[in-house]
Amino acid sequence: MHSDVILAAVIRSSLDCIVVADEQGQVVEFNPAAEHCFGYSREEALGHPIAEIIIPAHLRDAHSAGFARYLAGGEPRVLGRRVEVEAMRKDGSTCPVELAITEVKAGGKRLFTASLRDLTERREMERMVRDSEARLSAFLDNAPAAMYLKDRGGRYALANRFMAERLGYKHGQLIGKTPEEVLTPASLAEAREVDAIIRETRATHARETNFTTSEGVMSALTIRFPVFDEAGEIAYIGGVALDVSGQKKAELELQRSREALYQSEKMSAMGSMLAGVSHELNNPLAIVVGEAILLEEEAGGTPLAESAGRIHRAAERCSRIVQTFLAMARQKPPERVELNVNAAVEAAVELTAYGMRSNGVEVTCALAPGLPAVLADSDQIQQVLINLLINAQQALQEQAGARSLRVTTAESHGAVNIRVSDNGPGVSPEIARRIFDPFFTTKPQGSGTGIGLSYSQGVVEAHGGKLFLADGAQGAAFEVMLPVEAVTGQAPAEPAPVERTAPAGRALVVDDEPELGQMVARFLSREGFAVQVVPGGREAIAKLAETDFDLILSDLRMPDVDGPALHAWLVENRRHLVDRLGFLTGDTLGPAAVRFLDEAQRPFAEKPFTRVSLRTLIREVLAPGRSREAAE
């Protein structure tokens, strides 16, 4: 009796559903857990067939057949085992259950005890876990970053698709492998170092590093972290590596773009500054050049002739350097003219001569005589040559011993070739492949923008030519090929001086610098003109209001009444004298001056001028019908 009480208490307190049926399948016991799960009270269940109580209709025939077969001595298929089946509640709904059936004998009767456990919550949890794993898997497999977990043995317990593919494996092939099997020595050493830091600090560690992958070197932002078990020990070390190669490249290009913009702004500022100082610089230089020319002419046949010639040559050299520098800074549309390549080379060499000498570079030129002229923008081609010369000079700065640079010109296959070569360290094949890329530079930060060669190549190709790095050269050698196009006409010969015994007419010189005005007057006197000099536009207007002149040469920038104002007065009051007006100016950089000269269409000569340029100006001003054609 005592044992029956204990058994009944156990059945009532069981968390599993306990349903006992007799040989006829009638329910003889139905515990509280079964009441809660299936919705029947014990009184409702007792005496009813178990098949009608908890077995869904579509499974009842199979249940009855199996139960009958077992009672007839057949092999039990469910008895003594745990199986998962579908059960039915009072309301007709079904639920998954785990079922275990045992047979007992009591009072000479065979009883069958069914122990059932409702799996609804477990199935829901399993479904939620599957959904969570599916979401995690989708996230990991589509994430644009390498993600992994390493267990205590250092083997990969998790590695996503991105990581596997970057290391040259298929998805899933990294699982179970160690870093020693898949990483390069450099990446492995870095991983071991960080793992040791994490084990020591038990904290997340982030850094930027480089990984060698199957696709090359990947710049990565890595975040590594510990994963703890229930005991607080590190069970896994996880990691995320974001590929920031594109960002790094973009940042580098942005930095180089900023440097290039900074250089451009400096050049723009320099151009603006030159627009202001060129007038002040060119006026005294024009006096030096002009007086040197006159002195040489006057000293002809005397012991002073040689000294005068040296002064003249030095003054003209100063003039060429200034004109070349101003031409580089001048912002104007490209203009194709007949270009003497050898003269352009000599000008570029002369402009860079000081830098070459101060760096111990010996420059030699071998320029082929009689080269045909090419149609080119002289300023742009000169800038290309200067870029090549300066690049060679900078490459030679680290050269021990003799430093030499050679410039040669030649004609070949319908093109004029310019070769700039040095005896420096040369260009490695790796650098040679990228040397013409925009913003690529091997110079230290702050020493170059990486746009010189790219710009130069673009200029040469725009002229229909080629700029390339020559193969097999000792040191470095760059070649420029400019096509020889059909060039019509010849450069005009220097005009012969006007006979002094037959005056060419009356000339008026307008310049606010007396020394310059007097020097121009001396030039014009030797060309046969009777000359008057006035110190400004106001005085010129007073003269021109009363008297006609055959030639009027005026400075462009003057205080009070300047050249444009004088031109406007002539148009308004003495229009016939506009045809006789020309300008002498050192201000061809200023936008206002450029705009005025373009609109007025009057001839001009840039200071400092030579006898040739002055004679050319006189001829252009006095050319019959020139102004009428311009006006039309």
* pLDDT higher than threshold 80 for residue 357: yes
Residue 629, classified by CB atoms within 10 Å of its CB into exposed (0-12), middle (13-18) or buried (19+), is exposed
Q: Are 359 and 313 in contact (CB under 8 A)?
A: no
Output the pTM of the full model.
Answer: 0.45
Residue-averaged pLDDT of the chain = 81
Comparison of pLDDT for 326 and 3, the residue scoring more: 3
Lowest mean pLDDT among 166-180, 288-302, 308-322: 308-322
Lowest mean pLDDT among 270-279, 357-366, 573-582, 590-599: 270-279
- pLDDT of res. 628: 37
- pLDDT of res. 542: 92
* pLDDT higher than threshold 70 for residue 400: yes
- pLDDT of res. 93: 93
Q: Looking at the domain 505-631, which fold is it? A: Rossmann fold (3.40.50)
- pLDDT of res. 203: 93
The residue with tokens 């082929």 is: 368
Strands (E), 391-525: 403-412, 415-422, 466-469, 477-483, 505-510
Task: Give me the residue spans of the domains in the chain.
Answer: 2-118, 136-243, 332-491, 505-631
Which residue from 311, 288, 298, 294 is spatially nearest to 516, judged by alpha carbons?
288
Per residue in 83-104, pLDDT (tens digit) is 889 999 999 999 999 988 888 8
Per residue in 408-452, pLDDT (tens digit) is 999 988 899 999 988 887 777 766 666 766 555 555 444 444 456
Lowest mean pLDDT among 49-58, 69-78, 194-203, 391-400: 69-78
* CATH code matching the domain that covers 332-491, chosen among 3.30.565.10, 3.40.50.1110, 3.40.50.150, 1.10.3720.10: 3.30.565.10
Backbone angles phi, psi at 262, to 5 degrees: -60, -45
The total number of residues shown for the chain amounts to: 632
Residue 63 CA to residue 52 CA, distance in Å, equals 11
* pLDDT average, residue stretch 367-372: 91
* pLDDT higher than threshold 70 for residue 322: no
* pLDDT higher than threshold 50 for residue 627: no
Q: Are 417 and 479 in contact (CB under 8 A)?
A: yes
Which residue from 243, 270, 406, 288 is spatially nearest to 331, judged by alpha carbons?
270
User: SS3 of 160, please?
Assistant: coil
Per residue in 219-259, pLDDT (tens digit) is 888 899 999 999 999 999 999 988 887 787 777 777 777 76
- pLDDT of res. 450: 45
Residue 378 CA to residue 335 CA, distance in Å, equals 8
Which residue from 276, 272, 293 is spatially nearest to 586, judged by alpha carbons?
276
Exposure of 94 in the CB half-sphere (CA atoms within 13 A)? 10
Per residue in 566-594, pLDDT (tens digit) is 999 999 999 999 999 999 887 655 677 77
Residue 597 CA to residue 458 CA, distance in Å, equals 30
Backbone angles phi, psi at 426, to 5 degrees: 80, -170
Residue type, 195: D
Residue 286 CA to residue 95 CA, distance in Å, equals 108
Q: Are 108 and 76 in contact (CB under 8 A)?
A: no
- pLDDT of res. 200: 92
So what's the architecture of 2-118 in CATH? 2-Layer Sandwich (3.30)
**Domain 136-243 class in CATH:** alpha beta
Per 3-state DSSP, the chain is made up of helix, strand and coil in percentages (nearest 5) of 45, 25, 30
Q: Considering just the CA atoms, what is the radius of gyration of the chain in Å?
A: 49
State percent of the chain over pLDDT 90: 27
Do 136-243 and 505-631 fold alike per CATH? no
What is the rounded (10 degree) CA torsion for 348, 351, 352, 358?
160
The token duo for 446 is 């702050």
pLDDT band at 323 (very low <50, low <70, confident <90, very high): low
* pLDDT average, residue stretch 457-461: 82
